[in-house]
């Protein structure tokens, strides 16, 4: 074997070192290239993630703005509805007719000021009493059953009858009964309107009597009645058998916007041709032909006049008392419009609306409550359902807050708390209500709405975290 000299060892070592350095440079270049490509991919992924986060934040902010706008709109609608409720309540309280409401057993639930004046019983004395017994209904049990059956079918009943006030004095009234029905069509109670027609009835009775008097007394009695009719607050007119005016009092002239003297001797259907073919036209004809008392309610468009007619026939013609009920009818129309708007609002809103009768300890929920929280109507009818759904950790605080608001005669209450769905899930709700008080300043009702604000709170938390 040939010996390797020292300088050869050095050359071999240097060659080996260069080969190792070459391999290291190749590996280093490959590692740098790999890192460069990986870095670009990471940068691209980071940009994509940032874009997604920005889009999500924009969507969340838009949803939050929409929820805030919805809450503001709800507050405006609630204030407007409260004004309408207050206006309608004033209409009922300020009317001259006695208005009361009762449950399906005719136990009185409300009693306005006019009812107090008419019958002498205060609201405190009347509430909770049986209406038929309190004012001595003239109807027999069988008649009452027939009236109730008709009410349940037609929702309205009207007649003239005699009732008695607290002192035992007979009062002749025009009775109008309307049934109150629940969403499922069941009758839950009745609203009655008693119009005192005692004075008019006395005049009507005297008129009927006068129509039977001997001819020699007619002129004398007519002169007496003329003064009476001119003092009437209702319009009074008389026609002969050919429909010519024989009499029209001052009130009739005001109602028809004519001078009463100019109507005498003229045919009513020629003077008011738009009335031909109307309900009043046919009722007048039937009363004269059948010689029977009749009454009706009609609308005369040219004068924008709702009127109530009481027709008394005789062989020589008819006499008619005409009551202007335009204000009453328009008030009824406003009430009906309000009820329709309220029902539409309840159906349109996503909120769980509730109505709590604080006096009778009853509560009503709209369909959104059952749909959103999963409870049945049977579970939700008791007043206890108002508190049972509140999370146990929040229940006492919410209960105390409601009690404080009621005891301090506040008109508005609100709170945010956790609510338990029927399946046990917990949701965050914003609950707001208006508190209504009766004339004795006692809390009577709370009307409110629950809004699920869970999504809103999560959105706010995400915005704050970002």
Instruction: Give the tokens for residue 329.
Output: 């009818």
Residue 123: closest CA among 107, 136, 111: 111
Q: Has residue 170 been placed in a domain?
A: yes
What is the DSSP annotation of 189-227? EEEEEEEE-HHHHHHHHHHHHHHTS-HHHHHHHHHHHHH
Looking at the fold, whether 90 and 114 belong to one and the same domain comes out as no
Instruction: Give the tokens for residue 107.
Output: 């136990």
Cα angle 140, 141, 146 (rounded to 5 degrees) comes to 95
Percent of the chain surpassing pLDDT 70 = 80
Q: Has residue 334 been placed in a domain?
A: no
Domain of 86 in residue numbering reads as: 1-94
C-alpha span between 323 and 237 (Å, rounded): 11
Q: Has residue 388 been placed in a domain?
A: yes
Residue 190: closest CA among 268, 82, 264, 106: 106
Question: What confidence score (pLDDT) does residue 341 get?
Answer: 67
C-alpha span between 395 and 399 (Å, rounded): 6
Is the four-CA dihedral 82, 86, 87, 92 of positive or negative sign? Answer: positive
Q: Has residue 236 been placed in a domain?
A: yes
Give residue-wise pLDDT tens across range 238-258: 999 999 999 999 899 999 999
Q: Which of 196, 222, 255 is the last residue of a domain?
A: 196
Q: Has residue 112 been placed in a domain?
A: yes
Q: Which of 196, 221, 243 is the last residue of a domain?
A: 196
Looking at the fold, whether 320 and 438 belong to one and the same domain comes out as no
Instruction: Give the tokens for residue 65.
Output: 């703005």
C-alpha span between 322 and 184 (Å, rounded): 39
Q: Has residue 338 been placed in a domain?
A: no
Looking at the fold, whether 210 and 324 belong to one and the same domain comes out as yes
Looking at the fold, whether 232 and 313 belong to one and the same domain comes out as yes
* Model confidence band, residue 52 (pLDDT cutoffs 50, 70, 90): confident
Number of H-type helices and E-type strands within the chain: 17, 15
Weakest mean pLDDT among 228-237, 279-288, 433-442: 228-237
Which SS3 state, helix, strand or coil, does residue 180 take?
strand
C-alpha span between 423 and 425 (Å, rounded): 6
Structure-model confidence comparison of residues 350 and 244, the more confident one: 244
Question: What confidence score (pLDDT) does residue 1 get?
Answer: 46
Structure-model confidence comparison of residues 143 and 454, the more confident one: 143
Looking at the fold, whether 81 and 108 belong to one and the same domain comes out as no
Beta carbons of 135 and 118 less than 8 angstroms apart: no
C-alpha span between 161 and 139 (Å, rounded): 9
Percent of the chain surpassing pLDDT 90 = 31
Q: What is the distance, to the nearest Å, from the Cα of residue 96 to the centroid of all Cα atoms in its chain?
A: 23
Looking at the fold, whether 105 and 87 belong to one and the same domain comes out as no
Beta carbons of 360 and 109 less than 8 angstroms apart: yes
Looking at the fold, whether 292 and 393 belong to one and the same domain comes out as no
Q: Has residue 459 been placed in a domain?
A: yes
Give residue-wise pLDDT tens across range 190-222: 898 999 888 888 888 887 777 777 666 666 666
CATH of the domain at 240: 3.30.450.20
* Model confidence band, residue 316 (pLDDT cutoffs 50, 70, 90): very high
Looking at the fold, whether 10 and 37 belong to one and the same domain comes out as yes
Looking at the fold, whether 386 and 405 belong to one and the same domain comes out as yes
Looking at the fold, whether 292 and 212 belong to one and the same domain comes out as yes
Looking at the fold, whether 86 and 164 belong to one and the same domain comes out as no
Mean pLDDT of the chain: 82
Q: Quick check: 432 pLDDT over 60?
A: yes
Beta carbons of 112 and 100 less than 8 angstroms apart: yes
Question: What confidence score (pLDDT) does residue 127 get?
Answer: 93
* Model confidence band, residue 456 (pLDDT cutoffs 50, 70, 90): confident
- E strand segments, 95-241: 98-103, 108-111, 156-164, 170-181, 187-196, 235-240
Q: Quick check: 445 pLDDT over 60?
A: yes
* Model confidence band, residue 141 (pLDDT cutoffs 50, 70, 90): confident
Q: Which of 68, 94, 120 is the last residue of a domain?
A: 94
Q: How many Cα atoms sit within 13 Å of 29 on the Cβ side?
A: 6
Q: Has residue 340 been placed in a domain?
A: no
Structure-model confidence comparison of residues 261 and 8, the more confident one: 261
Structure-model confidence comparison of residues 315 and 79, the more confident one: 315
C-alpha span between 262 and 274 (Å, rounded): 19
Looking at the fold, whether 399 and 353 belong to one and the same domain comes out as yes
Count how many domains the chain has: 4
């Amino acid at each position: 074997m040939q010996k390797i000299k020292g300088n050869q060892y050095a050359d071999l070592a240097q060659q080996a070192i260069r080969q190792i350095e070459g391999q290291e440079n190749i590996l280093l270049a490959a590692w740098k290239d790999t890192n460069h490509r990986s870095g670009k991919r990471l940068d691209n992924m980071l940009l994509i993630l940032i874009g997604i986060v920005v889009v999500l934040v924009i969507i969340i902010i838009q949803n939050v703005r929409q929820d805030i706008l919805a809450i503001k709109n709800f507050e405006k609608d609630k204030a407007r509805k409260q004004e309408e409720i207050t206006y309608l309540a004033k209409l009922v309280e300020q009317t001259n007719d006695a208005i009361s409401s009762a449950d399906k057993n005719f136990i009185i639930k409300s009693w306005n000021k006019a009812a107090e004046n008419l019958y002498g019983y205060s609201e405190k004395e009347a509430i909770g009493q049986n209406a038929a017994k309190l004012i001595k209904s003239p109807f027999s049990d069988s008649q009452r059953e027939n009236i109730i059956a008709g009410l349940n079918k037609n929702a309205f009943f009207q007649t003239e009858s005699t009732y008695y006030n607290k002192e035992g004095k007979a009062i002749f009234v025009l009775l109008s009964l309307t049934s109150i029905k629940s969403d499922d069509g069941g009758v839950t109670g009745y609203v009655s309107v008693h119009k005192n027609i005692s004075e008019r009835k006395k005049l009507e009775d005297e008129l009927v009597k006068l129509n039977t008097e001997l001819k020699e007394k007619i002129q004398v009695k007519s002169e007496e009645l003329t003064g009476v009719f001119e003092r009437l607050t209702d319009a009074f007119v008389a026609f002969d058998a050919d429909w010519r005016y024989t009499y029209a009092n001052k009130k009739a002239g005001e109602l028809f916007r004519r001078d009463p003297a100019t109507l005498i001797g003229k045919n009513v259907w020629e003077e008011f041709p738009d009335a031909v073919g109307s309900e009043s036209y046919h009722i007048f004809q039937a009363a004269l032909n059948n010689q029977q008392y009749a009454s009706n309610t009609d609308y005369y468009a040219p004068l924008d006049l709702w009127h109530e007619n009481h027709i008394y026939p005789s062989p020589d013609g008819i006499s008619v008392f005409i009551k202007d009920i335009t204000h009453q009818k328009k008030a009824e129309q406003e009430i009906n419009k309000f009820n329709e708007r309220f029902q539409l609002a309840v159906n349109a809103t996503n909120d769980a609306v509730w109505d709590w009768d604080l006096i009778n300890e009853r509560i009503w929920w709209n369909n959104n409550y059952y749909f959103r929280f999963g409870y049945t109507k049977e579970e939700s009818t008791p007043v206890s359902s108002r508190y049972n759904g509140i999370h146990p950790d929040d229940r006492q605080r919410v209960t105390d807050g409601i009690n404080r608001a009621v005891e301090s005669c506040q008109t508005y209450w609100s709170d945010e708390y956790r609510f338990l769905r029927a399946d046990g899930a917990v949701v965050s709700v914003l609950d707001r209500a208006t508190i209504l008080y009766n004339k004795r300043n006692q809390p009577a009702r709370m009307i409110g709405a629950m809004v699920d604000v869970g999504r809103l709170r999560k959105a706010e938390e995400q915005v704050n975290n970002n």
